[in-house]
Amino acid sequence: MYQKEILSNGLRIVTNRIKDRSSITIGIWIAVGGRYENDTIKGAAHFLEHIVFKGSKKYSCKRIKESIEGVGGLLNAFTSEEHTCFFAKIPSQHFDKTFDVLSDMALHPKISPYDVGKEKGVILEEIKMYHDLSQYYVLELLDALLWPGHPLGKNLAGDTKSISGITSKELKDFHKEYYIPSNIVVAACGNLDHQGVVDRVRRNLGQISGKGGSDFLKVDDVKPAKNVSFSRRPIEQMHLALGMHGYDETHKDKYGLSLLSVILGGNMSSRLFAEIREKKGVAYSIAASSKALHDTGVFLIRAGVDNLKIIAAVEAILIELDKLTRKKIADSEFKRGKEYLLGQLLLSLEDTMDHMLWIGESVTSRDKLRTLSSVVKEFDQITPSDLKRIAKDVFQRSNYRLSIVGPVSRKNESQIIKVLEEV
């Protein structure tokens, strides 16, 4: 049962009680992420996610970890383009103590110059690590193609210059600007009492204050200068990412685009898996997905491909996309894709962690509580004809952006560009 309450300072609380669970997952969501930063402080939101673990007003770094892990709990955090979330999953009897630690850590961090200086080295190594992992770096290249010059097109963690130059004062200022009641959602799921959660949150966070921070830089009509990016690396497998702008989180067809991603590359029954891996044998891994943001979105296909078969892989992917724009999906394939998507959602909501992420993201992004039944109704209104219409809207060659990492030759580059531009 979903319940929501707003404190007098504007902080929102949302809970879901699941009686037959022994755990509670708590998340403190902040409506700020990588797209809220300028170049000087690029990576600030992610840096804050790191630095709050180093100590707070009441708890040392050691006590933060031991207080939660010492009772068998899990403590972690993540930063995305539009959110930061600090969360813990613990046996339900340890809720009060866990929330006291989590809230003090997130809302009252020390952010000392000494800790900031040390953590810079850690974050720079993290940036290097993901740069070295070709399957991740190819996505960074794709973002730069989709949103050139925009914060969404830049590394979420920042770069060497911004991280090296950032100061504890700048992090404190960023925290003060965005970690304010109207930007905060506390989400909890599991064996809990709603009023008990509200009372605890009010005791810990009911007195914090602050006015609205700066808004994010909107995505207008971005006009990319190029549609292909290559990074030559002497590795044993090509990594490709093909992307295009999709729908934002308020668009009426965002669920239809999600369903298209399942049919195209969401599982072993999907078209790309059957054609690229099973039939042609040119890739080990291949998948499609879609993501909706506040004012934009992306449809993505990523694959690890045989170095000698990169041209064949790109051609085959484009053929499958074109098919979806020309032919209506069969009713049996449509039904199978929809049942898979909803089934996966249902299974994920059995876990208190995934359920907390579901309700927390929904309220933080749209200030709405999505129920499973409401989502099912949305999908029930989608038809195979809708998917063909959506495919024609999104899968246009002029919108495609392609990044490839691997030992790609000059000749292959020219061939890939030619294939991508063919209509």
DSSP-based three-state secondary structure for 2: strand
Full DSSP string of 202-245: HHHHTT------PPPPP------S-SEEEEE---SEEEEEEEEE
Query: CA 326, CA 323: separation in Å to the nearest integer?
Result: 5
Architecture of domain 228-421: 2-Layer Sandwich (3.30)
- β-strand pairing of 237-245 with 283-292: unpaired
Name which of 277, 388, 255, 278 is nearest 333 in CA terms: 388
Which pLDDT score, from 0 to 100, does residue 224 have? 65
Fold of 2-205: Cytochrome Bc1 Complex; Chain A, domain 1 (3.30.830)
Cα distances from 375 to residues 2, 121, 341, 383, in angstroms, run 15, 43, 11, 15
Strands 228-232 and 401-406: parallel
DSSP state of 56: B
What integer pLDDT is reported at residue 221 of this predicted model? 62
The identity of residue 47, as a single letter, is F
101-133 as b/e, with b when 16 or more CB fall inside 10 Å?
bbbbbbbbbbbeeebbeebbeebbeebeeeeee
Amino acid identity at 371 = T
* Residues 342 and 379: beta-carbon distance below 8 Å: yes
Helices 254-265, 331-348: axis angle to 10 degrees equals: 100
Contact indicator for 418, 312 with CB cutoff of 8 Å: no
- Name residues whose C-beta falls within 8 Å of residue 87's C-beta, 6 or more positions apart in sequence: 25, 26, 27, 28, 75, 76, 77, 102, 353, 356
Query: pLDDT by residue for the chain (423 residues), tens digit each?
Result: 899 999 999 999 999 999 889 999 999 999 999 999 999 999 999 999 999 999 999 999 999 999 999 999 999 999 999 999 999 999 999 999 999 999 999 999 999 999 999 999 999 999 999 999 999 999 999 999 999 999 999 999 999 999 999 999 999 999 999 999 999 999 999 999 999 999 999 999 999 998 877 789 899 866 666 899 999 999 999 999 999 999 999 999 999 999 999 999 999 999 999 999 999 999 999 999 999 999 999 999 999 999 999 999 999 999 999 999 999 999 999 999 999 999 999 999 999 999 999 999 999 999 999 888 999 999 999 999 999 999 999 999 999 999 999 999 999 999 999 999 875
Owner of token pair 């993540």: 78
Give the helix, strand, coil percentages of the chain, each rounded to 5: 50, 20, 30
- Mention every residue, 6+ apart, whose C-beta is less than 8 A from residue 287: 265, 266, 272, 301, 302, 303
> In this structure, what token pair is assigned to residue 147?
């949103």
Residue ranges, CATH 3.30.830.10, the chain: 2-205, 228-421
Task: Give dist(CA 2, CA 339) in Å, integer.
Answer: 24
Distance CA 270, CA 267 (A): 5
